[in-house]
Each structure stands twice: as C-alpha cells, then as structure tokens.
Amino acid sequence: MSKQDKKKLQFPFRRAVVLTAFSVFALSLGYRIVDLHVLRKDFLQDEGNARAVRVVDTVAHRGMILDRNGEPLAISTPVDSVWANPKKLVTVRDRWPELAKAVGMKPRKLERLLASKAKREFVYLGRRIHPDRAARIMSLQIPGVSLQREYRRFYPTGEVSGHLLGFTDIDDIGQEGIELAYQDYLQGKNGSKRVLKDLYGQVIEDIESIRVAEPGKDLYLSIDRRLQYLAYRELKAAVKKHNARSGSAVLLDVQTGEVLAIVNQPSFNPNSRKGLTGDRYRNRAVTDVFEPGSTIKPFTVAAALTTGLFTPDSPIETGPGTMKIGRNMVRDTKNYGSIDVRKVIQKSSNVGASKLALAIPAETFWEVLNKAGFGNPTLSGIPGEAAGILTLASKWRDIERATLSFGYGLSATPLQLAQAYSVFATNGKLQRVTFQRQDSESTREQDVVQVMPATVALQVRNMLELAVRPGGTGTRAQIQGYRVAGKTGTVHKLGQSGYEEDSYLSVFAGLAPASQPRLIMVVMIDEPRSGEYYGGIVAGPVFANVMAGALRLLNVPPDDLESLRPRMAATETDVLATLQTSHGEGQ
C-alpha cells in the first residue's frame, strides 16, 4: 500500500496536467453533445432531412368506364416514356446505334436529335411506349437513359363510342364527353408519402404515409356495348350509302330512360386523335339541334285529342292538298282529300296537322310540347348539351302554329326527340334519360310528368303503328315478328336564304314492340346526297336493322304473332314440316 502511495505521489504535477487535460477533453465532448443534441438540434435535423428525406406523390389510378354489363369502355394503363440525358450519352458514342435500334429510330436521326439538344440535360427518345419495349431498352444499360412512368387511357371500342366517352388530355384529365362530365368521379386523389433518398435520388426507404392515394371510382354507364356497336355499324353503313354529311342515332330503354346506345357519324377514334379538329369530337346527338319535322306530328295529334275536340275518327278535309295561311302556303305531297285523324299520322299530312293545330288553343299545344321536354335540356350531364328552342305560345301567329304542327319553327336534339317519344311508350309519362346504369327502379327519384292522358298516348301509339304498316310512310322500318310504331320525318334544311329545296334531313323516330314498348330509337341522317332523302327510306332501314338486332339481343319476345303464324308449329313433325317447306321454297 505504502509502496503504491509512494508511486502515486512521485509525479504530482504530471498527474495534475494529465487529469486536467482529460477532464477538459471530456467536458468539451460533453458540451459538443449538448450543443448538437439540444441547442442546435432543430436546425441540424432540418438540414439533414432536407438532404435525404423527400415527399413524393403516389399516383392514383383513374377509374374505369364500363358498360352496363361490366365490359370495359375506357381503361387507364401505365406506359413508359424513355428519356435521356444527352450530356451523359455523349460519353458512350459507340453504343448509339444499339440504342437507336432499340427505340426504333434511324441512327442518323438519333445523332441529329442528340446534337441539337447537346447542351440540355433532358430529351425524350420515345413517349408512351409499351412497357415491354421500355424494359428491353433499359436492359441495354446505357448510361444516361432513364424511364418515366405515365398513364395512358385506352378505349377498346375505339370509334364505336368515341363521341360518347370523349377523351382525356396528357395529364389524364377529361376533355370531352363522359370523361369530362364525370371528371371528379373518375379521377383519383394522388396521395403522398415521405421517403428516404440516397445521393443519386433513388428511394431507399419509405418512412411514413402522409396521405393515402384514393383511386378513382369505376363508372357504370347505361350503354350496352353490343347495341352500341350495332347502332354504329348500321348508321355508318347508311351514312356511307346515302353519301350523307352526318348522322346520329339514339336508342333508349323505355322503362328506365337509360341510353343504351348513342352514336354519330362521322366518328373518331379516341385512341389516336392526330389531325382531327374540334367539330369531329362533337356528340351531335346531344349538342346539335335540328328541326324535327313530321316527327312532331304525333304531339300535334296528341294535343288535339287531349282537348277532347277530336277523336281518332274525326274527319279532316285536307283537299286540295294545299292550304293558304296569310301569305304562306302549306303543302302536302299529294291531295289526300277528306281523311280522319289517324290518316294524318299515317300519310303524314301537313295540311291535316296544321288544321288540327289551328283548331285547338295554342296554350294546350305548347303545354304538350313543353312537358314532352322540347326547349328544355334533358339534364343528361353530357357537356355542351343543347336545349333546343320552343318559343312561347303567346308569340305564335297562325302561320307559326301551322308550321309548328309539322315540326318547323322549333328545334331539338336527337336525344331530346327520343326522350319525348317515351311519352307514347309509357302511357303518357315522360321518362327522363340518363347515361348511368340504373340498378333498381327505385334508385332514381324523378318527378314524373304526365304529358298527356294514358288513353291519348295509347291512341297515338296505335296511329304510329299505322304509319309503319302498308299504306304508311315508314314501311321500311318494319321488323318481322314485331309490331313497330314510328314516325318518319323529311325536313328541308335551313340554309342562308330560307329553307333549301334540295337539302334535307331524314329522320325516323319509333318504338317497339308496340304492344308493350321496350325500346325507343331515333335516327337522324343529315343531307343524304344519293338521290333518296325521304325519312322512311333513308332513316327507316337503320331503325329496323338496329331495332331488330336489339330486340333479339335483349330477348324481347315477338309480339306480332299474326305475321308469324305460318312459321308456328305445335309438334315435332310440324317443326320438320315447316322447315322443309321453307327450304323447298328457298331452292
């Protein structure tokens, strides 16, 4: 013990120096710790985070658009864009041919491109290319070439539903049609998260979620893809056959007001819109108005029957086929003489309709048209929808009452006209149109407008059936096995100086099966230039072809059993016999 004590005390000064040095060292370390961890903590933490922690967006998917059966109409899918940093790429000149081949560019062109952007740090080599191809390019591992993920919207049906769906811009924001109308519903909300990045900007760790991305919701439309295609095909064929300027067709479900198909010509392909101008994008069936012509006559007759002054049997003198109102002349295509109200529809007599309109109060006529939706937008939600024009009854002069009775002096869209015809299909009630699938009948609250008494609606429907039967103007709209009710319209187009003599609109509006209506369709063909222009001849067959297909696809049983009687069989032998006779006839 004493020996040690002696040792300790041997160098007291040195001991003191060493101890002091150590304690100063320890204290300064301690101070440094306090300084870093307490005094300057916030500042240092911020600086550190600023160098490594980043907030990045998590991309939300845009919702799909589907048809009523869940078939996709618009899907967003990721694609890759290849970009390069020319400054880095310059260092590996020997690999350029390889790169040019992979991105599908001529080597000469790539060289020129890179030379022109040599001072920049960013140039696109290929935008929105297929991910497989992008992966192949990246597998070359050429320095300075990177990928950027983008979303692109695809429309599997292409031209068939181009107008209806519209399209989105490069940032996936709706620009036209349904894409625009339901933009908020379809678009998701991008989320964000905090991540740790390394020196090269690569994410090394996810730290926390700040906001969860909300993907867009899927939208179910009332459209049936099969019927949409059918309508597209038939309309396109008709527009081509008659060398028409344009055309529209609308197909509605009577019970729910759902739009099953809506097509226009000329159409466009939303997947590649290069070199197309704005008027090509218009959904004409909703945005363009036309004078409905004779297709208004059923409403004239309905107004007349509603007043009680007329019955379907009331005689009307239409001879001599012309009628002078003030300085104007109303003409029929020929002199029908004395006919009853039914025949006014069947023969489409302008004089007859004018006489009816002049015999009833203008307000009653106006009320029927207004309640049927003329002059009011359908509230379908499609952007750019037109309301059409229906002037007030108080401003009508006699000639206006007369021309209105056969559909001049008011305007409507094909969609409006189809909606208005629902009155004749649903016992006088107006069925409002919708583009969204209705899951059950109770989901949609709507104030039901009784446009006319149910009996009147039924009477007019029976007259519309006559118009399609032999002796009517719309015989080309017949469908074998079904009873069809409909009205033709051949409208003189309004030109620079009044109505033009040789430029027409051909219209057909009808419903089937007439005994218990399921579908309504309006076909409008603008300026057929092949020589034929009557609504019954140009638009009627389109109606018949689409309607026949639609009734078959929707499994609607035939209601015109009378015409099918020769094709009926009760037993197995009858079946064979019936088939044999027809085969015999065929040969």
CA distances from 486 to 40, 258, 289 (A): 85, 19, 20
> Judged by CB under 8 A, does residue 78 bind another protein?
yes
Looking at beta carbons only, is 298 or 549 nearer to another protein? 549
Segment interacting with another protein (CB under 8 A) among 42-50, 172-180, 516-524, 566-574: 566-574
Q: Are 506 and 528 in contact (CB under 8 A)?
A: yes
Nearest by Cα to 137 from 94, 100, 106: 100
Shortest distance (Å) from residue 500 CB to another protein: 36
Using the rule CB under 8 A, is 531 a contact of another protein?
no
Q: Which of 76, 161, 248, 294 is catalytic?
A: 294
Return the number of the residue (161 or 416) whose C-beta is nearest another protein: 161
* Min CB(168)–another protein separation in Å: 15
For residues 9-48, which are near another protein according to CB under 8 A? none
Q: What's phi and psi for 124, nearest 5 deg?
A: -80, 130
Closest approach, Cβ 550 to another protein, in A, equals 13
Query: Residue 262: which residues within 8 A CB-CB, separation 6 or more?
Result: 163, 164, 223, 228, 231, 248, 249, 250, 251, 283, 285, 286, 415
18: region left, alpha or beta (phi > 0 left; psi from -120 to 50 alpha): alpha
The contact pattern for another protein, residues 460-499, with x = CB under 8 A and - = no contact, is --------------------xx------------------
Closest by CA to 547, choosing from 284, 267, 347, 249, is 249
Smallest distance, Å, CB 327 to another protein? 52
81 is catalytic: no
Using CB under 8 A as the binding rule, the residues of this chain from 125 to 154 that contact another protein are 154
Residue 582 contacts another protein per CB under 8 A: yes
Distances (CA, A) of 230 to 485, 538, 540, 558: 20, 17, 15, 20
Is residue 61 involved in binding another protein (CB under 8 A)? Answer: yes
Q: Given candidates 160, 301, 477, 550, which one binds another protein under the rule CB under 8 A?
A: 160
> Residue 71, interface with another protein (CB under 8 A)?
yes
How far out from the chain centre does Cα 60 lie? 23
Question: Judged by CB under 8 A, which of 52, 53, 56, 72 binds another protein?
Answer: 72
Q: Using the minimum distance from each CB to another protein, give the nearer residue, 62 or 284.
A: 62
In the complex, the smallest distance separating the C-beta of residue 180 from another protein, rounded to whole angstroms, is: 22
Question: Is there a cis peptide before residue 312, judged by omega within 30 degrees of 0?
Answer: no
Considering the rule CB under 8 A, would residue 272 count as an interface residue with another protein? no
| Cis preceding linkage at 86, omega within 30 | no
When asked if residue 209 is in the footprint of another protein (CB under 8 A), the reply is yes
Q: What DSSP string runs through 97-150?
A: HHHHHHHT--HHHHHHHHHHTTT-S-EEEEEEE-HHHHHHHHHT--TTEEEEEE
Supply 17's token pair.
């120096």
Residue 156 or 319 having the CB closest to another protein = 156
Q: Please report the DSSP string for 474-537 in residue order.
A: -GGG-BTTB--EEEEEEEEEEETTEEEEEEEEEEEEEEE-TTS--EEEEEEEE---SS---HHH
Burial class (CB in 10 A: 0-12, 13-18, 19+), 342: buried
Touching another protein, residues 223-242 (CB under 8 A): 225-226, 229-230, 233
Single residue of 126, 157, 407, 430 touching another protein by CB under 8 A: 157
The span of 163-171, 251-259, 327-335, 556-564 binding another protein (CB under 8 A) equals 556-564
Question: Judged by CB under 8 A, which stretch of 253-261, 322-330, 485-493, 575-583 contacts another protein?
Answer: 575-583
Q: What amino acid is encoded at 386 in this protein?
A: A
Query: Residue numbers of the site for another protein (CB under 8 A)?
Result: 61, 64, 71-72, 75-78, 154, 156-158, 160, 193, 205-209, 225-226, 229-230, 233, 480-481, 549, 552, 558, 561, 564, 567-570, 574-575, 578-579, 582, 585-586
- The residues carrying an active-site annotation are 294
